[in-house]
Structure 1
Amino acid sequence: MSRGDDSRIDPADYSALSNFLRGYLHEDSALEYESPRAAAQAFRKDADERETSIVRSELDHLLQVTSAVPESQLIRILADQLGCRRHFRTRKEVEQLRDALK
């Protein structure tokens, strides 16, 4: 993924992550969870270790393939291509979400 492209990813490569984002970081998630970390903790209680591991792995991979793009592009990918409706301001916040899935 280069700086000059439109930072498109194939959402099919991130289906578990997208399901997590749509299910736990949706439009009303701020009413249900005080933070993305709290949403991740709720997911860990609801999901088995295998499912949690897949989501964490997909998020880690996304962070790797977007490491050279501006934070704003990563945030747009999460929202526009993967269905996240909770607003992240920085890459570090997204990394903290990944870490909360451990």
Structure 2
Amino acid sequence: MHLPDSDVAKIPTVIFGTVNGVIGVIASLPLDQYKFMERLQTNLRKVIKGVGGLSHEQWRSYNSGDMVFDSCNFLDGDLIESFLDLGRSRMEEIAKSMSVSVEELMKRVEELTRLH
């Protein structure tokens, strides 16, 4: 449910499902918000270990058998939301590298969680 006075309510979204049972959301973020979240995602990749010992980039890449394609122009909402699960010292480390406060990062990530 979107809050009517929130900027999140203005972001166009598409909800999808797959034959494997995955339910997801694709949202078209404004460019400045996308760039900010992309920087956050890049910093989180340095702190959070990937699934099964793979790097996050390997985990989210597509392998066609002959070639491997990296994820491009997409943000991983699960990875970004995992910021909220970090300990305070890790949050501060990431916030410092982005030159923003922990509270600002938490606020912006929590806003994104309202998309679904």
Both structures adopt the same fold (TM-score exceeding 0.5): no
Q: Which has the higher helix share?
A: 1
Larger Rg: 2
User: Which of the pair has the greater relative contact order for Cα pairs under 8 Å at 6+ separation?
Assistant: 1
Q: Which has the higher strand share?
A: 2
The TM-score normalised by the length of structure 2 is: 0.29
The TM-score normalised by the length of structure 1 is: 0.32
